[in-house]
Amino acid sequence: MSSETLSQTDIDRLLGGGNRTAGNAAVGTPFSNAALDVQVYDFRRPHRVSKERLRTLEAMYERLVKGLEAWLISRVRGQIEVRLQSVEQFSFGEFTLSLPMPCSSFIFDIQGTGQKGVIDIGPEFSTYIVDRLFGGEGTGTPLTRALTPIERMAVRSVADRVTSLLQEIWQDHVPMELNITGFESSPEILQVVNREDPVLVANVEFSTGSVSSLVLLCLPFSVLDKFFTSSGQQRMALLATNEQEREQTRLRSEAALRATKVPLTARLPDFQLAMRDIAQIVEGTIIPTGIPKDARVIVRAGSQERFIGHAGRVNGNLAVRIVDALPSSASTPDSPRS
């Protein structure tokens, strides 16, 4: 064993303390937990809600909250406050673990996607809705049992309204049609996607007097891919479109428009004919119109009256000479001018 005495500098260097150079400080960094800011990253389920997207989502769900609050006040005839608590990403397994037992979860189909979502209404809120709609004051003790079929129908009116509002706030981003198709009171049995699949959960808080509860809105991320990826794709498309490409697109559109064929029809002015004369019409009958030979005719482009002309012949064929144009405000598709 060496009997060499260590200096204070040697001791400081070994312990990662004392006066160190920048290089020594870097070596000592792994021993300093306070200086580290470690964040867990799940490569199987990466977090997909950026700060920009989160602000958009919060604004969308705030619209839902305001609409739901106004509807509830008119529905139960009482003072109710509804506010958005948070919009977060979870796995479906984490979502089910947050539900009470028993729960009041309405399952809805997302038409055309084969996916489902969940609206869970807290027991306090369910009790309040049932009590108010059945003539009570909404001060009953929260139910600790599953809802009966009649109670379920009362609470479903809220779930139906929530699905309608969900469709409204998402229609500009991911249009979807939602239809409630089921109900579940046991979180363990609730299964709309795999437990590891990511879902977007909005926590909406309901309060009235001393009663407070949550309504949870769960949508699978698989149906929201367009919302989380469209922005980047649109930006790339915009950058790829230069002035020359836009000019080429305009020329192609103009050429296609000019090549479009529009039917033109010329119509004589109206005239009247007695019913006895109409009854005598047969093949070869000459019908006197009483219209002067130089009377003007109305020329239609499609179904719109656009020009005034005179009928005549050119090289043995019927023809119309345009003498004036009709203002678009004066043209009517159904009544010819005389």
161: domain CATH number? Answer: 3.40.1550.10
Reading across the β-sheet that carries 264-267, which strands appear in turn? 264-267, 296-301, 304-314, 317-325
Helix (H) or strand (E) holding 203: strand 198-208
Domain that holds residue 100: 51-229
- 223 and 78 assigned to the same domain: yes
Per-residue buried b or exposed e for 72-83, using 16+ beta carbons within 10 Å of the residue's own CB: beeebeeebebe
- The answer to whether residue 103 is domain-embedded is yes
Model confidence over 100-121: pLDDT tens digits? 999 999 999 998 888 999 999 9
**Mean of the per-residue pLDDT values of the chain:** 79
Higher pLDDT, 43 or 72: 72
Contact predicate 179/111, CB 8 Å: yes
38 band by pLDDT with thresholds 50, 70 and 90: low
Whole-number pLDDT of residue 55: 87
- The answer to whether residue 253 is domain-embedded is no
Q: What is the Cβ-side half-sphere exposure of residue 86, based on CA atoms within 13 angstroms? A: 5
159 band by pLDDT with thresholds 50, 70 and 90: very high
Contact predicate 325/307, CB 8 Å: yes
Residues in the chain: 338
Note if the bond before 175 is cis, omega within 30 degrees. Answer: no
The number of distinct structural domains making up the chain is: 2
- The answer to whether residue 299 is domain-embedded is yes
- 61 and 194 assigned to the same domain: yes
- The answer to whether residue 138 is domain-embedded is yes
- What would the two tokens of residue 141 be? 């003790």
294 band by pLDDT with thresholds 50, 70 and 90: confident
- The answer to whether residue 112 is domain-embedded is yes
- 218 and 336 assigned to the same domain: no
